[in-house]
Amino acid sequence: MEAHDTTQLETLVHRQLRDCSPIFLALADPIRQDIIMMLTKHDSLNVAQIVERSPMSRSAISHHLKILKQANIVNSTKIATEIYYNLEIEEPVQHLKDFIATTERIIEMKTAGAE
């Protein structure tokens, strides 16, 4: 194992970790997890429909949706006066997979170098 290869991978994994931070933040909260699960069962929901299925207030749900949107986990579409939210999780999942794959490569290289 060359130290140069490991350094490049560590730089890459550091950048990937930073890119995943909003995703980790979004997934860490049980209310946001509940919203994600709601959206897996429905093509799209507006804030009022999410509030009906949650013990949280409208403003709290809006706050959680904002965090999910910043992490690119949900997308929104305005239809007339209502904003509907739907799950768009493919890109965040790919970021997480890339981070894990790079981390696994680093571990493999370090393990091979220790032998």
What's the whole-number mean pLDDT along residues 30-46? 97
Q: Which CATH number describes the domain made up of 3-110?
A: 1.10.10.10
Question: What does DSSP assign to residue 43?
Answer: S
Among candidates 23, 1, 27, which has minimal Cα distance to 70?
23
The answer for residues whose C-beta is within 8 angstroms of residue 74's C-beta and 6 or more apart is 35, 36, 39, 65, 68, 85, 86, 87, 88
Instruction: List the domain boundaries for the chain.
Output: 3-110
> Is residue 2 over pLDDT 60?
no
List, for residues 70-90, the tens digit of each pLDDT value: 999 999 999 999 999 999 999
Give the whole-angstrom CA distance, residue 77 versus residue 112. 49
What's the whole-number mean pLDDT along residues 26-39? 97
Between 71 and 112, name the one with better pLDDT.
71
What's the whole-number mean pLDDT along residues 20-34? 97
